[in-house]
């Protein structure tokens, strides 16, 4: 059995017409001999609408109830796609997280999948049905619905592909993966392929095409992912082990305005304190990205780090036991600007080249962090477009 796991995003199932288009695309593949599993996101903006409904009732709704609420969006789209396939004369069945036991670690809003029972999926496939799975959702130990985070349907698709031994195809409203967001730089090039590592970095850094955990999962199980546009024949991008590494040091740029920088001033220069601070933040499941610390002066240091803006309140609550109120400084005027490329492993001087270009163009760099394959800077928001353009042109992206 040649199993293909396809995922269609919210914009691909936004209307009954689009759902019908997906149905006929899926049926074509089925008729060509593949066993089809289709993972769907919620229709169009319906998740946002459900969140808005929740906010009209509670400024800060409980995460458990919010997950229970927004999980319904994918149940709706999966049922509708099944109906559309059936209407075209093929057998289909929708399945939710309870029905295929997508067990998670139970963290509301950003769960990690721990296991999937593929027996029900395989039974339906063997009986010739097209299986439609509600993406984005899982269930906790205590049978609560928990969601996998924005874009989590990608992870549902990869996890199922890994479990049933299938290939994975992600369909969305863009034609593939670009070196950078074409809305930021109109000349951005579509990539034929990209390595797992690069894609993970770009996703974590704010490229919205793929859910980063889905790519990590694909890398772990060595599942190639094809990313393409739904209901289109244009060739997309493969995310896979890249063997013929290009000479280019940089594959892509990602920028994000979703973070804020928090600085704790005048804290004790003490490695235990540092560990305590980051442990208490990690316990709240807040993702820290850039970290920087000044050199100690009179036994005191300043510690800065960036976090997602929506976690700011919780983060400040958490760190307020380590610093007084006036020593916690928040800088909301930052854009995270990152360049990513496995070529950096073998090409030296990329960082110095970037900083030189920034200096020549008066882009002020507030914070820096680097890894083997990426360089991330926090810059002022007003410098964003300029930074994107000068770096993209310089590295021919």
Q: Which residues bind a copy of itself (CB under 8 A)?
A: 16, 19-20, 50, 53-54, 56-59, 61-62, 64-66, 68-69, 71-72, 75-76, 78-80, 82-84, 86-87, 93-94, 96, 98-99, 143-145
For a copy of itself, the closer CB: 39 or 180: 39
* Residue 99 Cβ vs a copy of itself, minimum distance, rounded to whole Å: 5
* Residue 19 Cβ vs a copy of itself, minimum distance, rounded to whole Å: 6
For a copy of itself, the closer CB: 95 or 377: 95
In a 3-state reduction of DSSP, which class is residue 397?
Answer: coil
* Residue 23 Cβ vs a copy of itself, minimum distance, rounded to whole Å: 9
* Residue 97 Cβ vs a copy of itself, minimum distance, rounded to whole Å: 9
Where do we find the tokens 């983060």?
A: 315
Going by the annotation, the residues of the binding site are 7-10, 47, 74, 172-173, 178, 183, 208-209
* Residue 42 Cβ vs a copy of itself, minimum distance, rounded to whole Å: 10
Copy the structure tokens of residue 397.
């992206």
Residue 9 per-residue DSSP state: -
Residue 297 per-residue DSSP state: B
How far apart CA 167 and CA 337 sit, in angstroms, is: 33
For a copy of itself, the closer CB: 55 or 381: 55
Q: Which residues are CB-neighbours of 251 under 8 A, at least 6 positions away?
A: 179, 191, 194, 195, 198, 202, 340, 341, 342, 343
* Residue 195 Cβ vs a copy of itself, minimum distance, rounded to whole Å: 39
How far apart CA 76 and CA 81 sit, in angstroms, is: 9
For a copy of itself, the closer CB: 50 or 357: 50
For a copy of itself, the closer CB: 121 or 342: 121
How far apart CA 65 and CA 55 sit, in angstroms, is: 12
Of the candidates 79, 156, 78, the one whose C-alpha atom is nearest the C-alpha of residue 116 is 156
How far apart CA 95 and CA 12 sit, in angstroms, is: 19
Quickly list DSSP for 160-197.
Answer: HHHHHT-EEEEEESSSS-BSS-TTT-TTPPBPSEE-HH
Going by the annotation, the residues of the binding site for ATP are 7-10, 172-173, 178, 183, 208-209
For a copy of itself, the closer CB: 69 or 274: 69
How far apart CA 236 and CA 228 sit, in angstroms, is: 4
For a copy of itself, the closer CB: 26 or 84: 84
Of the candidates 203, 311, 309, the one whose C-alpha atom is nearest the C-alpha of residue 252 is 203
> For the purposes of burial, counting CB atoms within 10 Å of the CB of 6, is it exposed (0-12), middle (13-18) or buried (19 or more)?
buried
* Residue 364 Cβ vs a copy of itself, minimum distance, rounded to whole Å: 43
How far apart CA 121 and CA 98 sit, in angstroms, is: 12
């Amino acid at each position: 059995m040649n199993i293909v796991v396809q995922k269609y995003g919210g914009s691909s199932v936004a209307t009954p017409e689009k759902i019908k288009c997906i149905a006929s695309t899926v049926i074509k593949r089925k008729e060509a001999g593949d066993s089809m599993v289709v993972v769907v996101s919620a229709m169009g903006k319906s998740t946002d609408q459900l969140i808005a409904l929740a906010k009209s009732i509670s400024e800060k709704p409980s995460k458990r109830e919010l997950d229970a609420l927004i999980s319904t969006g994918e149940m709706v789209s999966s049922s509708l796609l099944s109906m559309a396939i059936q209407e075209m004369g093929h057998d289909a069945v929708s399945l939710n997280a309870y029905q295929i036991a997508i067990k998670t670690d139970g963290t509301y809003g950003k769960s990690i999948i721990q296991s999937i029972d593929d027996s029900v999926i395989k039974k339906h496939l063997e009986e010739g049905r097209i299986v439609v799975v509600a993406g984005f959702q899982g269930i906790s130990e205590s049978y609560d619905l928990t969601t996998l985070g924005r874009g989590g349907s990608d992870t549902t698709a990869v996890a199922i592909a890994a479990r049933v031994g299938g290939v994975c195809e992600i369909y969305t409203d863009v034609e593939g993966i670009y070196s950078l967001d074409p809305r930021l730089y109109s000349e951005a090039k579509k990539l034929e392929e990209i390595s797992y590592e690069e894609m993970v970095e770009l996703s974590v850094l704010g490229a919205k095409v793929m859910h980063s955990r889905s790519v990590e999962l694909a890398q772990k199980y060595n599942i190639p992912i094809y990313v393409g546009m739904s209901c289109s024949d244009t060739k997309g991008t493969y995310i896979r082990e890249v063997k013929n590494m290009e000479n280019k040091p940089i594959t892509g740029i990602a920028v994000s305005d979703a973070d804020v920088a928090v600085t704790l001033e005048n804290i004790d220069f003490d490695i235990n304190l540092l560990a305590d601070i980051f442990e208490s933040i990690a316990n709240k499941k807040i993702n820290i990205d850039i970290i920087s610390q000044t050199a100690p002066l009179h036994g005191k240091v300043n510690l800065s780090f960036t976090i997602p803006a929506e976690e700011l309140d919780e983060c400040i609550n958490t760190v307020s036991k380590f610093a007084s109120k006036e020593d916690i400084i928040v800088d909301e005027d930052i854009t995270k600007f990152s360049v990513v490329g496995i070529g950096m492993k073998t090409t030296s001087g990329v960082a110095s080249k970037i900083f030189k270009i920034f200096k020549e163009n008066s882009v002020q760099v507030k914070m820096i962090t680097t890894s083997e394959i990426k360089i991330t800077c926090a810059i002022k928001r007003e410098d964003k477009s300029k930074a994107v353009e000068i770096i993209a042109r310089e590295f021919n992206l």
